[in-house]
Amino acid sequence: MNNSASKPGQTLQSAFLWLTVVVLLVSFFCALWINFGIRLPTEAGDRTVGLLVDYDELKRIADSNPDISFADMARKAVVAGATGLVVRERLLADWEISGDILSFTGAELLFYQTNAAGVSSAARAVPEIVPDRTYILTGDRRIYEQLFSQLEAKRRYPEAFDYPGYLGIAVHLSSGERATLGLGFPLAQLEAAAAEGMQILPRLRNWEPVREDSLAVVFDWTAKIPNLAGIGFNDMTVPGGGADPIIQDRLAEAIRPLGKPLISFEFYDQTGLAGLAGRLNDRVLRAHAIAENELRRYANVRDAMDRFNLAATERNIRYIYLRFYGLENPAASMMSNMDLITAVRDGLAGEGLIVGYPEVLAPFSVSLPLRYLTGMGVVAAGVWLLATGAAPLLGRKRKPVLVFILLFMAGCALWAMLLLFVSALAVKLLALAGAIVFPSLGLLLAIQGEKRDADSVSSGIAAAVPPQASAGFRSGDLLRAIRAYLFLSAFTLAGAMMMSALLAAPSFMLKLDSFVGVKIAHILPLLLVPFVCWLREPERYSLLTRTVRAKVQFWQLAAFLLMLAGLAIYILRTGNESLGAVSELEMQVRQYLDRILSVRPRTKEFLVGHPAMLVLLYFGSRFSMLPVLVVGLIGQISLINTYAHIHTPLWISLTRSLHGIWIGMILGVIAVWVLLWILRLIRRIGMRYEERGEDSALP
């Protein structure tokens, strides 16, 4: 009777297991097609990197050498390897310093009119002089037209006047406006640079109010820039603040006729840029620079080259924006900075990159059915994890497998609705679920065959030594542990393929959008898996009671505080932009690993998580080994979260993961040997003390 009663339940349970495995396999193969059939070829065709220098810095060096013109300096930079020039929109002071205009306040003009010989008669041509107005004089008609039209479009209400030998503009400008209001670009110098083969990358400044007519004027003048590479912005927001969708639409309409991409500067998040990029079909090129306040840290050219090479190869950067060194003495710094350009160019070429004129990432899309099938794997794994975690509470006789099948069907239906109506949010949520589910489920599957008994561990040294330790090292146990470790890592990698396939889109690859819930993905499995392990304990409630009532010893408190500090560091060091500081020593170790391995594995994987996982799988995952389990799980969490960085090329992430797995396995084997040796040593010492005790008791 018992056998006949159990057959329907066993059949249903078997059906659920097969359904889950089949769905996971289908989803996995769909993810492989997205990653290797669509994404990887797109990344492989995107290998050109531009090398940019700064207009003001290049001009400063040229101006400090009386025998070298700006065109000569641009030619030297091109010969050294530069492909482009970054130029910020000119302020009034910039025009004045370059000698293109003269600028006076009304009070200054009144003073000159009264006290300067020969000025008073000429100044009669000026309209009534107002002390708080700004008066601009230039002999260059194109500069005059550019300044006047910019001031007029930006609602500063300029007035024209004639001055002997000059074209004049009178305008009200506050001190703040003089320091922030963009007034066009030095077209003559940019034409000279373009004639030498340089691309020009302008950075527009913000202004208020942003209106349709002002946008037209600004971008009409921007279109006159020769050899235009793209459109960049200088301030923390795009013009208009980035929050008004109407202004965003008009800004996109003004940029679209130029046919040029937007330029995104890494680590300089500009409000509104992602929304603007979406309106322009994600036509974006990413640029990387060492900020001025970091230049001293990278005074060693090799360190700077390492940073640029990593940015270009591992973060989808397509412009390297070089900042010059030694500008305290610009004339003397010319040759060293030209050598810097050449060194960076050669370093990029050595990484297999092409230094030239980059193009935007080739557009691609993933069909909804293909993305849906990929996401079903995450749903199936989530239900499997729920069933695995709930098993200890449901007992062995009656497991409501039908409930989990219905949950799977409901999850698939919900995923379909979300994908249809809020696609961007849906893929982010399911990717987050995958980052939580796969490392958690993989570890539980790897250890579920072993039986635990919390009461089997006593306070004696002998009880702390597993059976294989007392008999010495056993290769069969190690091979079993390695197989379990490789299974677990492969399962996590399969989940990583599904997660990265869900996020495979230009917006994520260009970091206009990003994986959400990074901290949650790193913390929740560390709570979830120990909780399920506690549920699996036969006497879980008595175990909890004994733990609460136990007397806390000093070493236990110290160990707890140490683990708490480690967890805090772990949390701070996770995320797309980690808050945890990286020491100089760690930076040097990272650079060394990059040089010898080409792609550096993550430290918390190969040095911490993976070795601890192998130790856990060798010695057995009894409840007393929970701290080791938590540390080992960190490696699997890091493994899957590597693929949340979609802006990192797929082959880089795969190489990083494989390096972490094999190095971590070797270190894990070494750790097992060392621990076995320590445990045998402790056992021998204990036996000697026991023998001495017996001898002393003899008559």
- pLDDT tens string 601-651: 998 899 999 999 999 999 887 777 888 899 999 999 999 999 999 999 999
Residue by residue, what is the 3-state secondary structure of 451-494? CCCHHHCCCCHHHHCCHHHHCCCCHHHHHHHHHHHHHHHHHHHH
The four Cα atoms 662, 667, 670, 674 give a dihedral, to 10 degrees, of -160
Residue 181 contacts residue 207 (beta carbons within 8 Å): yes
Give 650's Cβ-side CA count (13 Å radius).
26
User: Which structure tokens are listed for 345?
Assistant: 């160019």
**Does residue 297 or residue 427 have the better pLDDT?**
427
Between the alpha carbon of residue 215 and those of residues 87, 201, 286, 341, the distances in Å are 19, 18, 24, 35
For residues 53 and 81, the answer to whether their CB atoms sit within 8 Å is: no
Model confidence at 5, pLDDT cuts 50, 70, 90, reads very low
Say what the pLDDT of residue 698 is: 43
Is 80 in contact with 341 (CB distance < 8 Å)?
yes
Q: What is the mean pLDDT of residues 250-268?
A: 94
CA pair distance 526, 520, nearest whole angstrom: 10
Lowest mean pLDDT among 143-147, 207-211, 397-401: 397-401
Q: Which region among 4-18, 49-63, 158-172, 248-262 has the lowest average model confidence (pLDDT)?
A: 4-18
Reported as a pLDDT band with limits 50, 70 and 90, residue 64 is very high
> Is it the case that residue 554 has pLDDT exceeding 80?
no
Specify the residue for token string 């509104």. 272
Cis peptide before 158 (omega within 30 of 0): no
Which of 370-384, 493-507, 543-557, 619-633 is least confident?
A: 543-557
Q: Above 70 in pLDDT, residue 147?
A: yes
Q: Are 618 and 612 in contact (CB under 8 A)?
A: no
pLDDT of residue 92 exceeding 90: yes
Instruction: For residue range 569-608, list pLDDT tens digits in order.
Output: 666 666 544 444 556 666 777 777 777 888 889 988 999 9
Q: Cα torsion at 497, 500, 504, 510 (round to 10°)?
A: -140
C-alpha 33/C-alpha 28 separation (Å) is 9
Long-range contacts of 303-310 (CB under 8 A, 24+ apart): 303/591, 304/340, 304/344, 305/343, 305/344, 305/347, 306/591, 306/594, 306/595, 308/344, 308/347, 308/348, 309/347, 309/348, 309/350, 309/351, 310/594
Question: What's the length of the chain?
Answer: 699
pLDDT confidence band for 690 (50 / 70 / 90): low
What is d(CA 288, CA 268) in angstroms, rounded to the nearest whole number? 9
Dihedral sign of CA atoms 526, 532, 537, 541 in order: positive
DSSP state for residue 217 in the 8-state scheme: H
pLDDT bin (cut points 50, 70, 90) of residue 176 is: confident
Please tell me the distance from the alpha carbon of residue 419 to that of residue 502, in angstroms, as a whole number: 11
pLDDT at 697: 47
* Residue-level pLDDT at 247: 94
**CB atoms closer than 10 angstroms to residue 416:** 15
Helix runs in 503-606, H state only: 506-509, 518-536, 540-549, 554-572, 584-597, 603
Residues in contact with 244: Cβ distance below 8 Å, sequence separation at least 6, in sequence order? none
Q: Closest Cα partner for 505 from 418, 422, 427? A: 427
Calpha distance 528→442 (Å, rounded):
13
The residue among 233 and 116 whose pLDDT is bigger is 233
pLDDT, residue 66, reads: 87
Using the CB atoms, write b or e for 49-63: b if 16+ within 10 Å.
bbbbbbbbbbbbbbb
Residue 88 dihedral angles phi and psi, to the nearest 5°: -80, 150
- Nearest Cα residue to 673 out of 605, 619, 603, 598: 619
How far is residue 109 from each of residues 155, 417, 574, 636, measured CA to CA in Å?
Answer: 24, 70, 59, 72
Of 97, 245, 246, the C-alpha closest to 178 is 97
User: Of 290-299, 514-523, 563-572, which range is least confident?
Assistant: 563-572
CB 642 within 8 A of CB 602: yes
| Per-residue pLDDT at 476 exceeds 70 | no
Task: In whole angstroms, give the CA distance from residue 556 to residue 563.
Answer: 10
Residue among 3, 8, 1, 16 at smallest CA distance from 401: 16
Q: Which of 30-39, 282-291, 460-469, 621-630 bottoms out in mean pLDDT, i.e. has the lowest? A: 460-469
Instruction: Please state, in angstroms and rounded to a whole number, the distance separating the CA atoms of residues 201 and 606.
Output: 41
Give tens-digit pLDDT for 208-247: 999 999 999 999 999 999 999 999 999 999 999 888 999 9
pLDDT at 462 over 90: no
The encoded tokens of residue 603 equal 């430290």
Q: Identify which of 218, 116, 125 has the alpha carbon closest to the alpha carbon of residue 165.
A: 125
Q: What is the pLDDT of residue 459?
A: 31
Give the pLDDT score at 434: 96
Average pLDDT value for the chain:
85
